[in-house]
């Protein structure tokens, strides 16, 4: 056990990320207390735990890293930071998380999980909320399940599920039990729609709805001056 030394241990694992330049990334683990079980290939960090790997950083109260399984298990006040190649910044929070450093997939759950997409060249920030998130290829693709809510500057979308595709900045929702519903507002305009399928192109602030679309559109008009 290493106590309260906030020491950084540099671990060069054989299953690191490989980028186009064939460069192996290094994993840096820090924390207040650290236990290394060498035979099992497991490192446990308690108190201000942090794992940094390339542009990705995971912070939590407790972090367990398995070298053999390439697996990170994080518990308590989990925060996930990622900077994409195009400069977009992504932040996620939850109570629990798992992440596989080889497959770049994972899961976020507990404590009202949320993902914040700050897209480069866009003035808008998209906030996603759900009971559970499943990650694929880092944050390039994320699947949200149960009590899904998407909030941006121009409105709110709710539904049972959502699939985010970062490669083309789209979000897709479909009816499971409840139909996707959007409430949009801009200046003196208010719109409320629902449909079986919904597409959000969040870099263009455009919504497309399909299959049994229903809703209303309200525009407030002020009386002319006398």
Lowest mean pLDDT among 11-20, 70-79, 103-112, 188-197: 11-20
Q: Domain of residue 219: give its range.
A: 118-226
Q: Is the pLDDT of residue 16 over 60?
A: no
Mean pLDDT of 43-65: 93
Q: How far is CA 89 from its chain centroid?
A: 10
Mean pLDDT of 77-92: 87
190-215: per-residue pLDDT in tens? 889 999 999 988 777 788 899 999 99
Q: Is the pLDDT of residue 10 over 60?
A: no
Residues 202, 157 share a domain:
yes
Residues 96, 5 share a domain:
yes
Q: Is the pLDDT of residue 135 over 60?
A: yes
Residue 143 and residue 133 in contact, taking contact as beta carbons nearer than 8 Å: yes
Mean pLDDT of 218-226: 59
Domain boundary (46, 80, 111) is at 111
What is the predicted pLDDT for the residue at 109?
A: 97
Distance CA 25, CA 216 (A): 52
Domain boundary (111, 134, 167) is at 111
Burial 52-61 (b: 16+ CB within 10 A, else e): bbbebbbbbb
Distance CA 206, CA 95 (A): 32
- Report residue 123's pLDDT band, with 50, 70 and 90 as the boundaries: low
Residues 58, 164 share a domain:
no
Domain boundary (77, 111, 145) is at 111
Per-state percent for the chain, helix, strand, coil, to nearest 5 = 0, 60, 40
155-178: per-residue pLDDT in tens? 899 999 999 887 788 889 999 999
What is the predicted pLDDT for the residue at 184?
A: 84
The residue that leads in pLDDT, 13 or 5, is 5
Residues 130, 64 share a domain:
no
Rg (the chain; Cα; Å): 21
Residue 185: how many other CB atoms lie within 10 Å: 14
Residue 72 and residue 65 in contact, taking contact as beta carbons nearer than 8 Å: yes
Domains in the chain: how many in total?
Answer: 2
Residues 135, 90 share a domain:
no
Q: Cα dihedral sign for 47, 17, 129, 153?
A: positive
- Report residue 26's pLDDT band, with 50, 70 and 90 as the boundaries: confident
Q: Is the pLDDT of residue 6 over 80?
A: no
Residues 79, 159 share a domain:
no
CA-wise closest residue to 158 among 143, 142, 175: 175
Mean pLDDT of 83-93: 84
CATH code, 210: 2.60.450.10
Mean pLDDT of 2-19: 30
């Amino acid at each position: 056990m290493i106590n309260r030394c906030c020491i950084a241990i540099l671990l060069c694992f054989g299953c690191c990320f490989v980028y186009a330049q064939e460069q192996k990334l290094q994993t840096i683990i820090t924390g207040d207390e650290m236990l290394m079980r060498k035979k099992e290939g497991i490192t446990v960090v308690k108190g201000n735990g942090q794992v940094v790997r390339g542009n990705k950083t995971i912070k939590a109260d407790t972090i367990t890293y398995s070298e053999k399984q390439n697996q990170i298990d994080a518990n308590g006040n989990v925060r996930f930071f990622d900077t994409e190649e195009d400069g977009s910044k992504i932040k996620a929070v939850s109570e629990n998380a798992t992440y596989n450093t080889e497959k770049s997939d994972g899961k976020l759950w507990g404590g009202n999980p949320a993902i914040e997409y700050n897209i480069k060249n866009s003035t808008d920030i998209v906030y996603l909320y759900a009971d559970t998130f499943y990650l694929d290829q880092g944050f390039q693709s994320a699947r949200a399940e149960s009590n899904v809510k998407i909030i941006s500057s121009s409105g709110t979308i709710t539904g049972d599920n959502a699939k985010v595709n970062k490669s083309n900045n789209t979000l897709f929702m479909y009816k499971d039990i409840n139909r996707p519903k959007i409430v949009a507002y801009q200046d003196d305009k208010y719109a409320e729609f629902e449909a079986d399928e919904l597409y959000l192109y969040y870099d263009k602030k455009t919504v497309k709805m399909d299959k049994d679309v229903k809703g209303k559109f309200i525009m407030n008009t002020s009386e002319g001056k006398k």
